[in-house]
Chain A
Amino acid sequence: MNTGTYISGLLHLLLIGWALIGGWLSLPEDEPFEVAQVSILTGEEFAALTAPPSAPRAATEAPAPALPEPQEPAPAPAPEPVPDTPPEIAPRPEPEAPAEPDPAPVPPETAPEAEVSDVPPVAPTPPAETPGTALVAEPTPPRPSTRVAPVPAAPPPPEAEIAEDVTESATPSPDAAPEAPAEPATAPEEATTEIVTEAEEGKDSALAPLASARPLARPDRPVRVAEPAEPAAPAEPTEPEAPPADAIADALAEAMGGGAPETSGIGTAPSGPPMTGGEKDALRVAVSRCWNVGSLSSEALRTSVVVAVSMQEDGKPRMETIRMISYSGGPEAAAQRVFETASRAIIRCGINGYDLPVEKYDYWRDIEMTFNPEKMRIK
């Protein structure tokens, strides 16, 4: 071999060595991008980003992930967890990222997926609302309601049954697929974000809008963006099918000489890409929807508890494994009350299984949840 080959080989080895050591030195925690830094998009901008002309690109890019580049951090190939719970994660403004199934407003080729659709609450848009300012305007005064939840919801339509998720009734529309099942319309129970005492009721009356607008999300919670509903076509984000992720995981597993990711034969370390921040957040939101602290004493509301639970593969919690591991901030009796509310939350919202990616089961088989009611104290 000539000098050039030696130098090239040396440089390659140095590169690999740096990559190895560099990888060890920077243990990735939560993925730093997307969810935290995404800017809040208005409906129009979102529609522009995910307009049908870009859909074919998604189709052509689907095979692309089979050739991963080394410099891509691991979670990139995973699909952005598309909003499967209503006013949810904002879309990534990176349409060029590989293998992103665009949550497009129902382009024709994704019509078959319209069956399993979760729709953000279609709130009546106030007449004066301008898109550019809608999401950063001062929140309207909270409507009195017996239910306080982090996600304000408009009163459900009259024929809706109360359920945690929202599904649109199968009204005839050009977008709905013909085989959409005739489900009764359901909507989350009416909720508001704050308790309004009688003393405070009249305070903001001078500022109240003439139309009763749905309270807007607070800007410092980037995960929960209340998108104004597009008037004609309700956005129907699809379930994360995640075929590209499987392809990646399979490829890695083959390269490492292991079997399928779920049934690893080489020890107990979870294989496959770890949970994304978005997935963890989705779980957090799902549990918090059922975490009812309304009956807790003020002493209990100062007490945090850590609850452990083991999950089945279908996403349902194993009831007998729910246990309190530790508590702080109050006496044991108060912690026990908080634990009971936490346990009810985990069980109730997990009755049909949590929406967790099954190929990452090793990562979420055992979960430890810290329930801290401090922020709910006087709401």
Chain B
Amino acid sequence: MIARLMTLLLALGLALPALPALAQTGPLRIVIEEGVIEPLPFAAPDFVAENAEAQQYAREISRVIASDLAGTGLFREIPGDAFISQITSFDSPVQYADWKAINAQALVTGAVSVSGNRLVVKFRLFDVFSEAPLGEGLQFGGTTGAWRRVAHKVADQVYSRITGEGGYFDSRVVYVAETGPKDQRQKRLAIMDYDGANVQYLTDAASIVLAPRFSPTGDRVLYTSYESGFPRIYLMDVASAGRRALEDQPGTMSFAPRFAPDGRTVVFSLTQGGNTDLYSLNLSTGARRRLTSAPSIETAPSFSPDGRLIVFESDRSGTQQLYIMPAGGGEARRISFGQGRYGTPVWSPRGDLIAFTKQHKGRFHIGVMRTDGSEERLLTASFLDEGPAWSPNGRVIMFSRETPGAAGSSALYSVDITGRNLKRVPVRGGASDPAWSPLLP
């Protein structure tokens, strides 16, 4: 009896630890909050040329795509000599194991065919480790002359499918091309693809031109020119390079023009009697309206994407700072409060951030802040950085960087809004004052 009782006790004692175990049901749950940030390795084997005329384009198109992706800093290309299998036909099945073996996590395949001056490019994107396509295959057509644009469109598709962002590769940048020493700078307006290809000049170097800005559809450019002997704002049609002055009152100077998102109004700075204020101009009616009346300098205005607000710089507090006011003028609210001077504010096309130039202790920085001035982050630092311009997806900023000294010159740089991937835009010769078009249709 005692022995049985003891055995019972022993058995129960052994069973006790199991009881809590019985209480656990359901799947194992874990929470993952940390990951890595590294460029995603991808492979872009040469696109297949589906006919003889496509030969000269097929490889070049895949090179442009790879270079767009790798240039973002978010992707890393696996070189072709590491490939195990090759893509010889657009429709043959993908040997995922071969791509996994070289750690290509994304695979872009494509094919090109050309007839006459018409080019057709098809592509597919694969998530290698999930062994499945990522989205549908797509096809783009264009003229052979615009083959780079077609490549950029494919790259935009790949980029957005993986990141979830809008693309920005099929876009153009207008800027000031510079030559000559600092005391005799020759400046002319130029336009190019965002990656530095296809440069075209829009003006000659006869007079100083400054700070061009695109219209919301990218078909016109506002800029400042000294061709009259005084800084005045002009509107130019990109396709024809035809232009007209928007302001020509004697005794005044105008500069720093920007389009409103509706493309019908221009906001700019007008200087009269030594005082600079903001004005807006209706392009169709020519009606001018004064937006600020202060003895301080008010300049560098930029609209919010919804057109309701304008951010600008003013030294009304004693130093250059950033302010926001309603688009029709009115009370201005200061948003910059850090140490140093703030200028050239530009509202992001996503509406969430404002980029700016900051000067502090002899250094210049490009930075971003939220539209209420919080979360200020400086992305660059150098002798002279200024004039940020946003990519169409609000993810990349391009700006001018000038080097010091008599031999100094200006170049265009771009940086991701996280501060990563700072690099020079490959433009031949000096360049400054970039502005970025929207994504081309």
Contacts and interface: CB of A to CB of B under 8 A. Distances in A.
A366 interface: yes
B419 interface: yes
A186 interface: no
Contact of A198 (B21, B38, B74, B380): B380
B131 A269 contact: no
Given A198-B379, A201-B381, A343-B130, A274 B35 contact: no
Question: Contact size class for A?
Answer: 35 or more
A12 B9 contact: yes
Interface stretch (A105-113, A117-125, A173-181, A290-298): A290-298
- Taking each of B29, B36, B73, which has the highest tally of chain A beta carbons within 10 Å of its own beta carbon? B36
A198 B381 contact: yes
Interface stretch (B157-165, B195-203, B270-278): B157-165
Nearest to A1: B1
B31 interface: yes
Interface stretch (A16-24, A44-52, A204-212): A16-24
Contact of B365 (A68, A199, A252, A280): A199
A333 interface: yes
Task: Find the residue from B13, B28, B100 having the highest chain A CB count within 10 A.
Answer: B28
B39 A294 contact: yes
Contacts of A197: 377-380, 418-420
Given A198-B380, A284-B31, A368-B28, A292 B36 contact: yes
A252 B163 contact: no
Contact of A256 (B5, B15, B24): B15
B425 to A, nearest CB: 16
Interface stretch (A32-40, A144-152, A229-237): A144-152
A348 B129 contact: yes
Interface string A325-350: 00000000110110011111101100
A272 B21 contact: yes
A378 interface: yes
B16 interface: yes
A295 B163 contact: yes
Contacts of A284: 30-32
A27 B9 contact: no
B17 interface: yes
B388 to A, nearest CB: 13
B367 A252 contact: no
Contacts of B407: none
A371 B32 CA distance: 5
B37 interface: yes
A149 B39 CA distance: 12
B19 A147 contact: no
Contact of B38 (A292, A342, A373): A292
Interface in B147-165: 162-165
A222 interface: no
A187 to B, nearest CB: 15
Interface in A1-23: 5, 9, 12, 16, 19-20, 23
A336 B74 CA distance: 18
Residue in B11, B12, B34 whose Cβ sees the most chain A Cβ within 10 Å: B34
Given A200-B378, A255-B15, 19 more contacts: A12-B9, A19-B13, A74-B20, A74-B21, A147-B38, A197-B379, A198-B382, A198-B422, A273-B21, A274-B20, A274-B24, A288-B35, A295-B40, A297-B395, A341-B35, A343-B130, A351-B100, A370-B31, A371-B35
Contacts of A201: 381
A291 B36 contact: yes
B36 A334 contact: no
A28 B224 CA distance: 73
A373 B32 CA distance: 8
B82 interface: no
B237 interface: no
B33 interface: yes
Contacts of B27: 308, 365-368
B380 A372 contact: no
| Residue of A191, A200, A297, A344 with highest tally of chain B CB at under 10 A | A297
A271 B129 CA distance: 33
B354 to A, nearest CB: 15
B234 interface: no
A369 B24 contact: no
Contacts of B29: 367-370
A319 B130 contact: yes
Interface in A273-306: 273-275, 280, 283-284, 287-297, 299-300
B20 A195 contact: no
B284 interface: no
Nearest to B74: A295
B379 to A, nearest CB: 5
20 contacts: A5-B2, A23-B16, A197-B379, A197-B380, A200-B419, A274-B20, A284-B32, A288-B32, A288-B34, A288-B35, A291-B35, A293-B36, A299-B164, A340-B127, A343-B129, A348-B105, A366-B28, A368-B28, A375-B33, A379-B418
Give the residue among B37, B105, B378, B415 with the most A Cβ atoms within 10 A: B37
B18 interface: yes
B427 interface: no
B38 A369 contact: no
A252 B18 contact: yes
B76 to A, nearest CB: 8
Nearest to B130: A343
A20 B12 CA distance: 9
B9 A372 contact: no
A374 interface: yes
B22 interface: yes
A149 B36 contact: yes
For the complex of A and B, the 6 pairs showing the least CB-CB separation, nearest first, are: A197-B419, A291-B35, A199-B378, A366-B27, A148-B37, A255-B14
